[in-house]
Every structure is written in structure tokens, then in C-alpha cells.
Amino acid sequence: MPLPLSMPERWITFLYLRPWLTFSLMGGFFVLFGITSVNLFVLLKANIDLFLEYGAMVIADGALEQLIDLIISAYLSVTFFVLFKVCERILVERMTEKKFGAARNREKATAPDSPPDASAAEKTRPAKREA
């Protein structure tokens, strides 16, 4: 009896079977990554320079809260980028499977944990010469 798939594997399978949804999500994640990362580095640098120049006095003005918001925005931006890359990887795997699927199937057939395919082994053996 096969084990149930974990949640990430279910999502990957779900997206693999729906390329248009995956493509749409990929575009959405790319836009969200762009929105959350615009001027992020410049704002972080300015905020840190403010702390270095004026010290703890800027905490009362809200600079610490702004720094925390910028750090959260940076992590959110990274999350959107990772989700974009996951969708990209799924689409690339789907697009190249038809072209390279035969080679991948041969690799699986000769893997040490699976029994070798007898017909494939006969095809790769050199022909015996009768004397």
C-alpha cells in the first residue's frame, strides 16, 4: 500500500497537472516579488544610516518599527521569489519531460533499487558471433 503524499508533494503534483494555473501563479508571484522588493535595499540602508548617525534617539521617532517592517518585507519578498522559482521549476520539468523522458526512464530502469529491465539489457549487449 503506497504511503500518502506529504502536503508539498500534493501541491507540486497539483501544479504539475495544471500548467496554465502554474504559469499564472508564477506571473503573480513575480509581480509580488517586484512590488515587495522595490527600493528595499535603499530604504534599509537609509534606516540603518539613521540609526548609526543618531543612535537610540530615533527609536522614539519610529525608526525601529520601520526597520522591523523593512525586514519583514524583505522576508516576504524572498518568499515570493522562492514560490516563483518553484513554479518555474515545475513548468521546466513538465516541458522537458516529453523531450528527455525516454532517457529518464532508462535511468530509472537501471537504478540499483529497481530490478533491471531484461529487454533493455539484451539490447545493450554486444551480439555474439558464432564460430
C-alpha cell at 58: 530615533
The reply to whether 85 falls in a domain is yes
The reply to whether 114 falls in a domain is no
pLDDT at 117: 53
* N residues, the chain: 131
Kindly report whether the global pTM for this prediction surpasses the value 0.75: no
The reply to whether 31 falls in a domain is yes
The reply to whether 118 falls in a domain is no
The listed range with the strongest mean pLDDT (1-5, 68-72, 100-104, 118-122) is 68-72
The reply to whether 54 falls in a domain is yes
The reply to whether 128 falls in a domain is no
Q: What share of the chain is helix, strand, coil (3-state, %, to 5)?
A: 80, 0, 20
The reply to whether 37 falls in a domain is yes
**Domain carrying residue 32:** 7-94
pLDDT at 108: 60
The answer to whether the beta carbons of residues 93 and 87 sit under 8 Å apart is: no
pLDDT tier at 9, thresholds 50, 70, 90: confident
The reply to whether 126 falls in a domain is no
